[in-house]
Amino acid sequence: MMLDRRKLLQTGLFSVAWGLLNSRAMGMNLAAWSDATPIFADSFDGPTLASKPSYTVVADVADGFRWLHTPSIIEGRHGTLLASWSSNGPRGDEDPTNFLELVRSTDKGATWSKPRQITDASTIGPVFLRTRAGDPVLFYLRNHSLRQDDCSIVFRRTKDDGLTWGDEMPVDIGATVAIIVNNGLALPNGDWMISFHYDRTQQGDNFTTAKADYIACVAVSSDEGKTWKRYDAAEIPNEQRAPNTLSWAVEPAVVLTPSGILRMIIRTLNGYLYQTTSHDLGKTWSPVRKTIFSNDNSKPSILELKGGKELLMWNDTRVIDFQYRFPLIATLSEDDGETWFRSVPIEDATVTLDYPSAVQMGDSIKLIYGLDRRQMRFVDLQESDFKPWVPINNSGSWKIGEGVLHYAGDRPGGGMADAIPDWMHWSKVVSFLPRRPAASTFSVDFRFDEGWAKDAVIGVFVAYQDESNWTAWCWHLADGRAGLQQEVHAGSVTRPFYARNSSNYTLDRMTAPEPNVWYTVEITTGDGSMSYRLLDRQSRKVLLASSNKLQWEGQFIGLGSRKAVVSFDNAVVR
């Protein structure tokens, strides 16, 4: 029996079925598919597709020999927003001419002051903490030498929302090398908490990252920064074994949940973000475990929102070279970090997008990030902006209308640079489902619309992990080949001996699709195998079927196109 889009879900505004649905709620005969209950379904009758937000350029590098890096944002005492970042010289983080810049907004981010220098040379990495009284505290790093990461944490205070700053004070945490990149917390009892990583080897004057042993931790001060107690939280062995061979648990971000649990998200070189939790305000921490999200050795950021929701920001890739830090995604959890179902693409341009920082001001999420290390960009988000489907690459060409998800084709200037690898030349919408059974079926209806290019390809991403690791069913229009494509890319592109790179195709001969004809593809994953059936949607005639022995990684799903003008309908996972 053909799926009837109009009957798929009767859920009012949203057409996504989430959780356990029965056949009566679905309004369809599931026996035609299987006895399994759908865990996800979208008939594209409602606004389930996120949009890339508009942005304001807060700062643009004027000197071609400098670059902007590591922004942070905070709300001051009187509703003033403060944002700061590093203005770095040509040597990067270790350049002796580095200093911090600051801007202010007194109208909730609508306009910003001109950037002004607020520290002397050899300073980088600003972050903030807002005291219980509402005053911002600025923490940052002071370089010891011209060696990467050879720095320690200091701080200054302001009583007038950043117009003037007090004297620089050291943060004594019992380590000579320590690095902070995420905002701190004011605990309910007024104590200050900062999260950072430090070098456990205590190398001293001969410091080098090749010998570093980086441990993620927190430090707490009960006397407004005069003294500190450090609590180690996590060590994560570096599986890549470069640039160091010990632990690489770096740039941790911490939130305090309404239940009093601290959650720490950690940058690694192992391909995933890791997390750990504390039930005693940071004194002890649980064993670390992988999250469901990939990591490209770039900073994550996390923020506790009103109502107990959590906001996570990260780069959706596993390729660790900084020029591949894209796209930048923000996602929401409504169940203490167990699932992250609604998301928004902060930016999907194929340039360096990194070091996001956010603060909630009223009901708005005020967010700043770096683009190509040339600009600081500010966006203003509402929780209603977060949706189950996230467009990535050429995101403006995706629309929902007339009960279908439609891709209008690649647009000049849509965001995909020619220099990126071939396996990144896809425009997609992705849904970050929670963990689903290894044995499941993803089915979707699709139609090739008029106007597609001869070399166009459609993709149904049955096992999507990130932009560089996925398995998809593809149909090539030029010669009719259809089947599975798998991409596995992790580690360094510029240093291939520290990388995994493979592209595998299992394609069967098939006739080219007819335009404006609806098809259905069903893709089933099992224990070490993946099979699919291509059907004519109206007649239910099987046009092509195949089964393959295949190991894959990726629990999320996606729909994509390369130059194809295409429509999708009735996406179901069961």
pLDDT tens by residue, 215-226: 999 999 999 999
For the ranges 24-38, 234-248, 528-542, 558-572, the lowest mean pLDDT is seen at: 24-38
List all residues 6 or more positions away from 146 whose beta carbon is below 8 Å from its beta carbon: 91, 94, 95, 96
Average pLDDT of span 502-521: 92
Average pLDDT of span 429-450: 91
The answer to whether residue 417 scores a pLDDT higher than 80 is no
Task: Check residue 491 and give its pLDDT.
Answer: 86
Average pLDDT of span 130-145: 96
Q: Pick 173 or 414 by higher pLDDT.
A: 173
The answer to whether residue 250 scores a pLDDT higher than 50 is yes
Task: Check residue 413 and give its pLDDT.
Answer: 52
Residue 261 half-sphere exposure toward CB, CA atoms < 13 A: 13
The answer to whether residue 500 scores a pLDDT higher than 90 is no
Average pLDDT of span 552-563: 94
The answer to whether residue 30 scores a pLDDT higher than 60 is no
Please state, in angstroms and rounded to a whole number, the distance separating the CA atoms of residues 447 and 485.
20
**What pLDDT, in 10s, does the model give residues 156-174?**
999 999 999 999 999 999 9
Q: Pick 414 or 418 by higher pLDDT.
A: 418
**What pLDDT, in 10s, does the model give residues 45-100?**
999 999 999 999 999 997 778 999 999 999 999 999 999 999 999 999 999 999 99
Average pLDDT of span 142-156: 94
Q: Are 116 and 177 in contact (CB under 8 A)?
A: no
Using a pLDDT cut of 90, give the percent of the chain over it: 78
Task: Check residue 206 and give its pLDDT.
Answer: 85
* Amino acid code (one letter) for 310: E
List all residues 6 or more positions away from 446 whose beta carbon is below 8 Å from its beta carbon: 458, 460, 518, 519, 520, 521, 559, 566, 567, 568, 569
The answer to whether residue 1 scores a pLDDT higher than 50 is no
The answer to whether residue 10 scores a pLDDT higher than 60 is no
| 3-class secondary structure, 32 | helix
Average pLDDT of span 177-205: 95
Q: pLDDT tier at 542 (50, 70, 90 boundaries)?
A: very high
Instruction: Kindly list the structural domains of the chain, giving each domain's residue range(s) and its CATH number in brackets, ordered by start.
Output: 5-49+393-573 (2.60.120.560), 56-386 (2.120.10.10)
Q: Pick 131 or 450 by higher pLDDT.
A: 131
**Mean confidence (pLDDT) of the chain:** 90
Q: Pick 410 or 371 by higher pLDDT.
A: 371
The answer to whether residue 244 scores a pLDDT higher than 50 is yes
Task: Check residue 450 and give its pLDDT.
Answer: 80
**What pLDDT, in 10s, does the model give residues 334-354?**
998 989 989 999 999 999 999
Average pLDDT of span 554-567: 95
The answer to whether residue 155 scores a pLDDT higher than 90 is yes
553-563: buried (b, 16+ CB within 10 Å) or exposed (e) per residue?
bbbbbbbbbbb
Beta bridge partners of 566: 407, 448
Neighbours of 249 (CB within 10 A): 27
Beta bridge partners of 475: 458, 482
Q: Are 296 and 324 in contact (CB under 8 A)?
A: yes
**E strands, 280-431, where?**
289-294, 301-304, 310-315, 328-333, 342-347, 353-361, 364-371, 375-381, 390-392, 398-401, 404-407, 427-431
Task: Check residue 412 and give its pLDDT.
Answer: 55
The answer to whether residue 371 scores a pLDDT higher than 50 is yes
Using a pLDDT cut of 70, give the percent of the chain over it: 92
Neighbours of 164 (CB within 10 A): 11
For the ranges 228-237, 366-375, 407-416, 537-546, the lowest mean pLDDT is seen at: 407-416
Task: Check residue 63 and give its pLDDT.
Answer: 77
Q: pLDDT tier at 375 (50, 70, 90 boundaries)?
A: very high
Q: pLDDT tier at 479 (50, 70, 90 boundaries)?
A: confident
